[in-house]
Chains A and B, each alone.
Chain A
Amino acid sequence: MTSNTERRDFLKLGAAGLAVAGLAGGAALSLSAQEAAAQSASDSRLREVLNRGKLLCGTGSTNAPWHFENDAGELVGMDITMGRILAKALFDDAQAVEFVLEDPAQRIPNVTTGKVDIAIQFMTMSGQRAQLVNFSRPYYVEGVALISSPKADNKTFADFEKLGSGARVSILQNVGAEEAVHEVLPEATVMQLDTQANVLQALDSRRVDAAAVDLSTVRWLVARNPDRYFDAGKQWRSMLYGAAMRQGDLDWLNFVNTAFSIAMFGHETALYDEAFKTYFGLEPPVRTPGFPTI
Chain B
Amino acid sequence: MIEQILYAIPFLLEGFYITLLVSTLTVVISLAAGLLLGIGLVYGPAPARLFVRIFSDTIRGIPILVLIFFVYYGLPAAGLDLSSFWAAVAALTLFKTAQVIEYVRGAIGSIPKGQGEAGMAIGLTFPQRLRYVIFPQAVRRFLPPWINGVTDAVKGSALVSLLGVTDLMHAINQVIGRTYEAMPLYVLGAVIYFAVNFALSALSRHLESRFAFIRD
Residues in A whose Cβ lies below 8 Å from that of B73: 109, 113
Contact status of A103 and B173, CB under 8 A, knowing A69-B11, A69-B178, A109-B73: no
Binds B, one of A18-26, A60-68, A167-175, A279-287: A60-68
Complex Cα distance A197/B174, Å? Answer: 10
Asked whether B180 is an interface residue with its Cβ less than 8 Å from the other chain, the reply is: yes
Contact B164 A100 (CB under 8 A): yes
Give the number of chain B interface residues (Cβ < 8 Å): 21
Contact A64 B180 (CB under 8 A): yes
The listed residue (B11, B84, B162, B182) touching A201 by CB distance below 8 A is B182
Residues in A whose Cβ lies below 8 Å from that of B24: none
Complex Cα distance A106/B163, Å? Answer: 7
Contact A68 B177 (CB under 8 A): yes
A74, chain B: closest CB distance, angstroms: 11
Asked whether B183 is an interface residue with its Cβ less than 8 Å from the other chain, the reply is: yes
Complex Cα distance A64/B182, Å? Answer: 14
Contact B180 A61 (CB under 8 A): no
Contact B176 A103 (CB under 8 A): no
Residues in B whose Cβ lies below 8 Å from that of A109: 69, 73
A window 212-267: CB within 8 A of B: 221, 225
Complex Cα distance A109/B84, Å? Answer: 13
Contact status of A61 and B174, CB under 8 A, knowing A69-B11, A200-B182: yes
Contact B178 A64 (CB under 8 A): yes
Contact B177 A101 (CB under 8 A): no
Asked whether B19 is an interface residue with its Cβ less than 8 Å from the other chain, the reply is: no
Asked whether B76 is an interface residue with its Cβ less than 8 Å from the other chain, the reply is: yes
Q: Mark A168-204, 1 if CB is under 8 A from B, else 0.
A: 0000000000000000000000000001111011001
Q: Which of A61, A62, A69, A221 gathers the greatest number of chain B CB atoms within 10 Å?
A: A62
Q: Mark B77-105, 1 if CB is under 8 A from A, else 0.
A: 00000001000000000000000000000
The listed residue (A63, A102, A106) touching B177 by CB distance below 8 A is A63
Contact A221 B166 (CB under 8 A): no
Contact status of A197 and B173, CB under 8 A, knowing A69-B11, A113-B73, A204-B183: yes
The listed residue (B76, B166, B182) touching A61 by CB distance below 8 A is B166
Residues in B whose Cβ lies below 8 Å from that of A205: 183
Q: Which residue of B lies closest to A114 (CB)?
A: B76
Asked whether B204 is an interface residue with its Cβ less than 8 Å from the other chain, the reply is: no
Complex Cα distance A197/B76, Å? Answer: 34
Residues in A whose Cβ lies below 8 Å from that of B4: none
The listed residue (A64, A68, A113) touching B76 by CB distance below 8 A is A113
Asked whether A73 is an interface residue with its Cβ less than 8 Å from the other chain, the reply is: yes
Contact status of A101 and B173, CB under 8 A, knowing A113-B76, A200-B180: no
Complex Cα distance A109/B70, Å? Answer: 11
Asked whether A294 is an interface residue with its Cβ less than 8 Å from the other chain, the reply is: no
Residues in B whose Cβ lies below 8 Å from that of A69: 11, 174-175, 177-178
B window 120-149: CB within 8 A of A: none
Q: Which residue of A lies closest to B162 (CB)?
A: A103
Asked whether A32 is an interface residue with its Cβ less than 8 Å from the other chain, the reply is: no
Residues in B whose Cβ lies below 8 Å from that of A101: 164-166, 170
Contact B163 A61 (CB under 8 A): no
Complex Cα distance A122/B83, Å? Answer: 24
B190, chain A: closest CB distance, angstroms: 14
Residues in B whose Cβ lies below 8 Å from that of A64: 177-178, 180
Asked whether B161 is an interface residue with its Cβ less than 8 Å from the other chain, the reply is: yes
Q: Mark A103-136, 1 if CB is under 8 A from B, else 0.
A: 1011001000100000000000000000000000
Q: Mark B153-171, 1 if CB is under 8 A from A, else 0.
A: 0000000011111100010
Excluding A69-B177, A197-B180, 10 further A-B contacts by CB distance (< 8 Å) are A62-B176, A73-B11, A101-B166, A103-B161, A103-B162, A109-B73, A113-B76, A196-B177, A200-B182, A204-B182
Which residues of B pack against A, CB within 8 Å?
11, 69, 73, 76, 84, 161-166, 170, 173-178, 180, 182-183
Which residues of A pack against B, CB within 8 Å?
60-64, 68-70, 73, 100-103, 105-106, 109, 113, 195-198, 200-201, 204-205, 221, 225
Counting from the closest, the 3 A-B pairs by CB-CB distance are: A62-B177, A101-B164, A201-B182
A-B contact pairs, 12 of them (CB 8 A): A61-B177, A62-B170, A69-B11, A69-B175, A70-B178, A103-B161, A103-B162, A103-B164, A106-B162, A109-B73, A197-B173, A204-B183
